[in-house]
């Protein structure tokens, strides 16, 4: 068992972590939307791809960047990682998906 700083919460590091997570979400989800459009996925397949990629990216984020300890970096890890950016990323995904879908056809 390792002893770390307990309850260390600085507003700066919190917002830095949040912006890093947001940037990762934004980039990956916009790219995923482009790929879904290029693959000509429709309706359920496209939304399925969104949730699959979203889950995959989050698991990768938790395991790789957070070293399985998201609680150290976020005060409310489940809400911040899974819920907070969901609709924003969904809107971005739909936009790039529609764009690529139309351009490729």
Partner 1 sequence: MLPQSVLSLWEAIRTANEGPELLLDPDLKLWALIPISIVMILVGVAKQCIMVLVSPKSKTVPRVKLTEILYITKARVLLGNGSNLSSESFQMRQEYLAQVLSEGKYLAIKPNENEKAKIENPFTNSSMTDAMTSMAMGNLVNYIPQTIIMWWVNYFFAGFVLMRLPFPLTIRFKQMLQSSVMTDDLDVRWVSSMSWYIISMGGLTPVYNILLGGSNLDKLDVSAQQQQLSQIPGGPSPQDQMKSLANDITVFQHVSVLDDIEDRVLKLYS
Beta carbon of residue 93, minimum distance to partner 1 (angstroms, whole number): 8
Question: Is 44 a binder of partner 1 (CB under 8 A)?
Answer: yes
The answer to whether 83 and 77 have CB atoms below 8 angstroms apart is: no
Q: Which stretch binds partner 1 (CB under 8 A): 52-60, 62-70, 74-82, 96-104?
A: 96-104
Question: Is 42 a binder of partner 1 (CB under 8 A)?
Answer: yes
Separation of alpha carbons 98 and 30, rounded Å: 11
The answer to whether 2 and 66 have CB atoms below 8 angstroms apart is: no
Count Cβ atoms below 10 Å from residue 93 Cβ, excluding itself: 26
Interface of this chain with partner 1, residues 3 to 22, rule: CB under 8 A: 3, 5-9, 11, 15, 19, 22
Separation of alpha carbons 103 and 70, rounded Å: 39
Map tokens 């590091």 to a residue: 13
Which residues form the interface with partner 1 (CB under 8 A)? 3, 5-9, 11, 15, 19, 22-23, 25-27, 29-30, 36-37, 40-47, 88-89, 91-99, 101-103, 105
């Amino acid at each position: 068992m390792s002893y770390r700083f307990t309850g260390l919460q600085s507003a700066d590091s919190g917002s830095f972590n949040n912006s890093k997570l947001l940037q990762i979400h934004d980039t990956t989800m916009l790219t995923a939307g482009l790929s879904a459009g290029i693959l000509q996925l429709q309706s359920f397949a496209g939304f399925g791809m969104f949730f699959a990629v979203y889950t995959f990216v989050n698991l990768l984020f938790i395991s790789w960047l957070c070293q399985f300890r998201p609680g150290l970096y976020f005060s409310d890890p489940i809400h911040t990682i899974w819920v907070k950016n969901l609709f924003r990323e969904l809107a971005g995904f739909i936009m790039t998906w529609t764009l690529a879908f139309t351009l490729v056809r």
